[in-house]
Amino acid sequence: MKRIHSVPFLLPVVGLAMFAATPDLRAQDASKPSPGGPTKSANPAPTEERKGAQQYSGTYSFLRDGEFVQLTVEDDGRITGFISRFGDAASDKDAFLDQFFKTGKLEGNKLSFTTQVVHGVDYEFKGSVERGEGKQPGDEAYFVLKGTLTENTTDASKKVTTHSQDVTFKAFPQNAGPPAASSN
């Protein structure tokens, strides 16, 4: 009995039939307007200045080893982020605390933010984002946050102590995340 190997012959025929039966799935040329007219994007492209400002988003060092600032530049110049730091009070000594930004804005390269109060402490930063000593984008310290950091500490009797200092926070390398907290 002679076997007919029809499978290799049928595959192209079935494939052509399926192709002919499916609706036209070709991508429309993006340079041509759609038949219904131009459509407006829900998220217009950010201006060149905003695109440049978004490159400042990232992780920066903070006051002590293992502490960091996470900064995100939004399209409208608003800044979101947080500070991760070790607690200093007896009740939170060396515990890792995250303090989210309450307010934050970037105008040109001028940066300011305030944090929420955590365990009686909040921070205010006023300064700028500047080019650092890093050679290429993504290098450590390619950008730095330079300015004045004010720490406000409120004690149990609601007395506020303020301490300000000039700081420079270096950008972490882009391929590296925030440093892992050491466990001693």
Higher pLDDT, 183 or 102: 102
Would you say the pTM of this structure is higher than 0.85?
no
- The ranges assigned to domains in the chain are 48-170
CB 150 within 8 A of CB 129: no
CATH class of 48-170: mainly beta
Lowest mean pLDDT among 68-72, 109-113, 178-182: 178-182
> What share of the chain in percent tops pLDDT 70?
66
Residue 41's pLDDT is: 40
> Considering the chain, what is the average pLDDT of its residues?
78
The residues near 141 (Cβ < 8 Å, ≥ 6 apart) are: 132, 133, 134, 170, 171
According to the model, what pLDDT value does residue 89 have? 78
pLDDT per residue as tens digits for the range 44-69: 444 445 466 788 999 999 999 999 99
| pLDDT at residue 34 tops 90 | no
What's the pLDDT at 107?
Answer: 94
| 109-168 pLDDT per residue, tens | 999 999 999 999 999 999 999 999 999 998 999 999 999 999 999 988 999 999 999 999
Residue 6 has pLDDT above 60, yes or no: no
